[in-house]
Structure 1
Amino acid sequence: MTNKSSPKIPELSSYDVQLTPEVIASIREVLPQVGEDVVDAVIAEVPPYQDALSGHMGETIRTAVGVALGGFLSLASGAGLAADVSAATPPALQGAYDLGRGEARSGRTMEALLAAYRIGARVAWRQLASKAVEGGMEPAMLVEFSALVFAWIDEISEASAAGHADERATTGRVQRQLRERLARRLLAEATTPEELDDAAARAEWTPPSTLTAVLVPNSQVGSILAKVNQSTLEFDDLRDLNDHTLMLVPDAHGHRRRPLMKALEGRRAVVGPAKPWREARVSYERARRVHFADLGSDTEQHLVELVLSADSDAREDLRAQVLAPLADLRPATAEKLTETLRSWLLHQGRREDVAADLFIHPQTVRYRMGQIRDVYGDRLDDPAMLLALTVALG
């Protein structure tokens, strides 16, 4: 990864500190021990570092501490401080910046990093000040020296913070790209389970039990993301849906579906069914169908309409087939009898309910059903015909 920004050279020339060769020698002598003491204090007092300062990363941190202390001494020993700033500080600041990036990659937070700097500053100041006095520094100069120590700590901690932030930003972009690729693979028909598992691992995404597809207007994405699972996948390269983004929400099944629907109220979103995560495409396709049919926001409330509209041509053929006995009647009569037959099927033959549904007298229902039986005969007692009629007229 390349650096997003370079650490700036500190402007510390305003500190009027003149270190004699004796003071410099005294401080230089103790720098290795100061570095070790700083590391030990960080281990003891900052919990995230208790098991971190071993192996390669531990050596990197120790080296960074040593470079930072050496950079300070080079800076503090310059004539009037300004002369050696450009030569003395870049290695130390670059080391601090790189340290911040490494800490972000290791998963430690900015708060932990800055806490380590605070602890390190306290330990370093105590020992550096003690050695400076031993080397003959005048007490009056100690105040300026103290200010310089903490100003330098501020500079290198700021460089580390910048490195940490840049690494997090870079990592975040890469992770988003990998998760978008995972979402694309989930929507593809030919993707194998092994390919999906590999894509999830590359994206550092822990597969949930289920995924629920949610189609969201682009203008609503930000506000909705704040209310759903942070592992939600996003994908906005949708065919015929340029103004929408797909969210694949983890584990919104069972009793968790209700909070999701509550969060989406008034958002003009369409929510598919919860499906095993590798079958997210099924949830997406169903949400698409409900969106284009303009049925509502919850696909689970429109399953009948979805089934009946799955093959509109086949349904029209079925309708023509089962209504063939009425084809020879006058169109107005056929329409009334079709309407009555549909209500009779849906109300399971309860004459009073059919009459209330059609706003007609029960005797009229009886008369019309008599006409229907005349043309259908025994076929109205055949379960297969009743099923076909119910589907065709549903």
Structure 2
Amino acid sequence: MSESRTVQGAAEFDIDVATAARLRRSLSATADEVIRAVIQEVPSYAGAWAGRMGTTIRRAVRTALGTFLDVVGGTGVLAVGAEAAYELGRGEARDGRTMDALLAAYRVGARVAWRGLSSTAVSAGMPADLLAKFAELVFAYIDELSAASAAGHADELATSGRARERYLEQLGRDLLAGATDELLVAAADRASWKPPDTLTAVLLPSGHAHMTQRLLPEGTLLLAEDAAGLAEPTAVLLVPDATRAHLLRVVGEYRAVVGPVRPWTRVAASFARAVRAHAMRGDGPLDTEERLVELVVGADVEAHADLRARALSPLDSLRPATRRRLEETLRSWLLHQGRRDDVAAELFVHAQTVRYRMSQLRELFGTALDDPRRVLELTLALAVPAD
């Protein structure tokens, strides 16, 4: 690791005891000037000087200047100032200020500190060549402090970012588990996640999840591929206040399943419906709002199979081809409420063919075709064709 430019330069800098003493006596006034200048010239710090953060920054400025004079005088350790600068960077990240704001404060501080220090040095009679060397030391030191603060800022962001990711993932799992409103509000607050009005659950292949998340509204939650409990790697996205048309366009290239919109604390219902619909996917996205009939009649597969078997039992004695034709005709007749011409148009047959088939069906079903309850059973039985 290369030696600090400040330490290296200080070893070659010969300052007399009297000048060093005068610089040290001016330290407090110079620190106050630096603080005032930063308040006036860097907007991000206008309100930062009250309370804990103000105390931290004042201490950091005084420590930085004091450490510099110690190093220049050959009695100090640079690490003291660097450590204070590192902690300052971490504190700035925790308070939500960017590194740009802190670097701007360093630039202002360097200018004002040099003005104060150089004024004292000149009044103490420091020669021009030594003053130039002194300037190099001041700005090398500020550069090193800036680097230390940048490292602290980056480390804090990385640490807090990982923690927040864990909190967001836990929030997502709590949402899918249908946790209580109280627990969900607390989890959202812990993750610094602003609750929307609604959430929509989306299932899609895991390989496309991160790219898709970037195209969706801010605050979209992403859960790992095991959250859906499906055999194939499937990610879960919880999309806040989604516009359905836009959402379907975003996932349009993938075999995604888009659940219904639900209040954000009730997104577990959207997720559960998307999971039930997962097996219905085709080559593109599946909108569960367009497949409600299939979802309803498929909610209990065995019950639907039993209903089909009982309701359509009058067709059991027919040959398979004949049965298929009559089932198709009966389904169309029920959906078109007995309008023969509409049935014929849908099935691409003559109206007389429809009349003939319906005569067969009436012989087989008898009065059942006039009984509202039996008609309902037949409609549900035929709502989803048999595999």
Q: Considering the TM-score relative to the shorter chain, is it more than 0.5?
A: yes
The aligned counterpart of 1:136 is 125
Using the TM superposition, give the Cα deviation of residue 241 of structure 1 relative to its aligned residue in structure 2, in angstroms: 4.8
Q: Give 5+ residue unaligned stretches, structure 1.
A: 1-6, 79-83
Partner of 1:81: none
| Structure 1 position 164, deviation (Å) | 0.8
Matched, 1:76 2:72: yes
Cα deviation 1:164-205 (Å, max 9, x = unaligned): 11111100111111111111111225x222222222222222
| 1:239-287 Cα shifts (integer Å, max 9, x gaps) | 23562221211111xxx22222222221333221221111111111222
Name the counterpart of 2:165: 176
- Which residue number corresponds to residue 348 of structure 1? 337
Change (3 A) 1:247 1:110: same
1:11 corresponds to: 5
- The equivalent residue for 1:159 is 148
Q: CA RMSD in A?
A: 2.0
2:103 is paired with a residue of what secondary structure? helix
Amino acid in the other structure paired with 1:69: L
Checking the alignment, whether the CA contact within 8 Å between 1:26 and 1:134 is kept in structure 2 is no
Query: Which residue among 274, 277, 280 is the counterpart of 2:267?
Result: 280
CA distance in 1, matches of 2:364, 2:147: 89
Identity %: 51
* 8 A Cα contact 1:229 1:250, kept in partner: yes
Residue 281 of structure 2: aligned partner = 294
AA aligned opposite 1:284? F
Alignment of 1:159-238 (within 5 A): 159-189=148-178, 191-236=179-224, 237-238=226-227
Partners of 2:199 and 2:261 within 8 A in 1: yes
Q: What TM-score does the superposition give when structure 2 sets the normalisation length?
A: 0.91
Task: Give the C-alpha shift of residue 300 in structure 1.
Answer: 2.1
2:7–2:71 contact (8 Å) kept in structure 1: no
Could you say if the C-alpha distance between residues 242 and 152 of structure 1 is closer, same or farther in structure 2, counting changes exceeding 3 Å? farther
Give the structure 2 partner of residue 4 of structure 1.
Answer: none
Bigger mean CA deviation after superposition, 215-224 or 23-32:
215-224
In structure 2, do the counterparts of structure 1 residues 232 and 74 end up closer, same or farther at CA, with 3 Å as the change threshold? same
Name the CA distance, whole Å, in 2 between partners of 1:242 and 1:66. 60
Does 2:62 match 1:66? yes
Is the partner of 1:12 in helix, strand or coil?
helix
Q: Match of 1:383?
A: 372
Task: Indicate conservation of the 8 Å contact 1:215/1:244, yes or no.
Answer: yes
Q: Secondary structure at the match of 1:274?
A: strand
Q: Check the 8 A contact 2:203/2:234 in 1, yes or no.
A: yes
Q: How far is the alpha carbon of 1:328 from its aligned partner?
A: 4.1
**2:83 maps to what in 1?**
94
Q: Which amino acid aligns with 2:201?
A: A
Gaps of 5+ in 2: none
CA–CA separation in structure 1 for the residues paired with 2:54 and 2:7: 33
Deviations 1:75-97 (A, max 9, x none): 2222xxxxx6xx51111111110
Is 1:23 matched with 2:19?
yes
How many corresponding residue pairs? 377
Decide whether aligned partners of structure 1 residues 66 and 182 sit closer, same or farther in structure 2, where only a CA change above 3 A counts: same
Deviation at 1:329, TM superposition (A): 4.2
Distance 1:250 1:62 in 2: 42
Structure 1 CA distance for aligned equivalents of residues 159 and 231 of structure 2: 29
Equivalent pair of 2:5/2:140 in contact (CA under 8 Å): no
Alignment of 1:251 onto 2:238? no
Counterparts of 2:266 and 2:21, CA distance in 1: 69
State whether residues 9 and 89 of structure 1, in contact with CA within 8 Å, keep that contact through their aligned partners in structure 2: no
Structure 1 SS opposite 2:272? helix
Q: Take 2:131 and 2:256, find their aligned partners in 1: how far apart are those partners?
A: 65
